[in-house]
Structure 1
Amino acid sequence: MTADERVVETDDVRPPGERGRTVISDRVVERIVARAAEETAGSGGLDRSVLGVGLPGRRAARTDVRVHGKVVTAKVAVSVAYPLPVRDVARRVREGVRERVEALTGLTVRQVDIDVAALERPTGRTVS
């Protein structure tokens, strides 16, 4: 019997409700949110710092995600490229996060709060 001739016995296939369950941790959803936020044009991660002293390198967008059953609420802190319209970039980040989380997890995103923590000059320096 070749691979194309294999027969699947329908008696052995269990209904979807009996196959088990999938659990997606809050941390996984946080990473999806951070990645989606950074991939939005005009937004990015934040400078690294300790006690207000800048450090070399960047970190991902800061996120705080809560998953209650199948509902997600998220807070995201990002930087916005100067001089792009902050409101437009925030709207695109919100939409991108919602679409990506719902597509990858099947969860419903109820709310995405955006905190613009910094403006980035074209040279990569932060505007305070």
Structure 2
Amino acid sequence: MTPAGPPAQENTDDPGARGSLTISERAVERIASHAALEVDGIGGSAPRVLGVTVGAEEAERNVRIAARITGAVVALDVRLSITYPAPVGSTAESARTHLISRVHALTGLSVSKVDITVTALHRAVVTPRRIR
């Protein structure tokens, strides 16, 4: 009879030995949508059905993102609005750079491209003054 000892410890230093991780396209879309709103001057986009905008284009809406994952690489198609009078080109480029770094940091996926469509320009939200 052999003495019972502690169970054999598996080597968990190798990440591949612990199992696999699959991140869905929907999860990447949600992560990227929140990351885009971290950029100053970026707002959301109204949903579209058959190419027609449904509802108003409001800055408070979510940024619309479609993600396509191939292996460990993701491509993003982004629909967003920008606060006027922010420069459209540099604001969109800031959003692109931020999305690439945040999506990679939060998912481990490399971002191959970020296509951005600016759907609207919004005036900065100004809190109305109250008269007493």
User: TM-score, structure 1 length as denominator?
Assistant: 0.78
Superposed CA RMSD in Å reads 2.6
Structure-2 separation of matches of 1:30 and 1:95: 16
Structure-2 separation of matches of 1:53 and 1:77: 14
**Secondary structure at the residue paired with 2:76?**
strand
Structure of larger gyration radius: 2
More helix as a share of residues: 1
- Answer yes or no: is the 8 Å Cα contact 2:75–2:111 preserved in 1: yes
Partner of 1:18: 17
User: TM-score, structure 2 length as denominator?
Assistant: 0.76
Deviations 1:91-114 (A, max 9, x none): 010011100110011111000011
Structure-2 separation of matches of 1:66 and 1:48: 19
- Answer yes or no: is the 8 Å Cα contact 1:49–1:55 preserved in 2: no
Pick one of 57, 66, 69 that aligns with 1:67: 69
Identity %: 42
- Answer yes or no: is the 8 Å Cα contact 1:48–1:59 preserved in 2: no
Structure-1 separation of matches of 2:54 and 2:77: 24
How many residue pairs get aligned? The number is: 116
**Secondary structure at the residue paired with 2:85?**
coil
Q: Which segments of 5 or more consecutive residues in structure 1 lack a partner in the other structure?
A: 1-8
Partner of 2:116: 114
Shift of 1:54: 3.5
Q: Which segments of 5 or more consecutive residues in structure 2 lack a partner in the other structure?
A: 1-6, 127-132
Deviations 1:56-107 (A, max 9, x none): 9742111111000101100111110101100010001001110011001111
Matched, 1:44 2:43: yes
Shift of 1:13: 2.8
Structure-1 separation of matches of 2:26 and 2:100: 16
Question: Which AA in structure 2 matches 1:72?
Answer: V
